[in-house]
Amino acid sequence: MGGMARRRAPRSAPASSRTAPAACPCGSPAPYPEHCGKLHAGGVAARAEDLMRARYSAFVVGDEAYLRRSWHPDTCPPVIGLDGGTRWEGLEIEASERGSAFHQDGTVTFRARYREGGAPGALHERSRFTRVGGEWVYVDGDFLD
């Protein structure tokens, strides 16, 4: 893992101060502030799947700072480019392998539904996660469809 110095993004709320949605965007019945919102506010993901869910929710609420700090420094793009034209409409976790408190790596297979310019689409991906400084980060993924 290259030993790169870890830079922490400041713990900040999403740039837009829109009202937080009532149910968590990731599909959990728990309200956003008690679920992915906790990770966005600086909480630590216990499992790779929790990080995956929080990253999906970060796309929904537009929390670029969270996407950046939950991304492996070697693979995080210089510009994330949250596209205002994409509306994320739902997440389904299909499989979660390894990625527990006892693992150093894991994969999460998911399907994320979106709408772009009125047309529905879905992102079907198997994402890889590892730990940097003990905390889960997203490395990269393979598109399955």
What's the burial of 131, exposed, middle or buried (CB within 10 Å: 0-12/13-18/19+)?
Answer: middle
Whole-number Cα distances in Å, 114 to 17, 66, 85, 140? 22, 20, 10, 20
CB of residue 34 vs Zn ion: minimum separation in angstroms? Answer: 9
Judged by CB, which is closer to Zn ion: 2, or 29?
A: 29
CB of residue 82 vs Zn ion: minimum separation in angstroms? Answer: 18
- Count of Cβ atoms closer than 10 Å to residue 99 Cβ: 26
Judged by CB, which is closer to Zn ion: 26, or 112?
A: 26
What does the per-residue mask of binding to Zn ion show for 26-65, with x meaning CB under 5 A?
Answer: x-x------xx----------------x------------
Judged by CB, which is closer to Zn ion: 38, or 73?
A: 38
Beta strands at 105-116 and 86-98: parallel, antiparallel or unpaired: antiparallel
**Taking a C-beta distance cutoff of 8 angstroms, is the pair 57, 38 a contact?**
no
Site size with Zn ion, rule: CB under 5 A: 6
CB of residue 16 vs Zn ion: minimum separation in angstroms? Answer: 18
The piece of 22-30, 95-103, 108-116, 133-141 that touches Zn ion (CB under 5 A) is 22-30
Dihedral angle at the C-alpha atoms of 90, 132, 107, 66, nearest 10 degrees?
A: 10
Helix (H) or strand (E) holding 45: none
CB of residue 59 vs Zn ion: minimum separation in angstroms? Answer: 12
Residues that bind Zn ion (CB under 5 A): 24, 26, 28, 35-36, 53
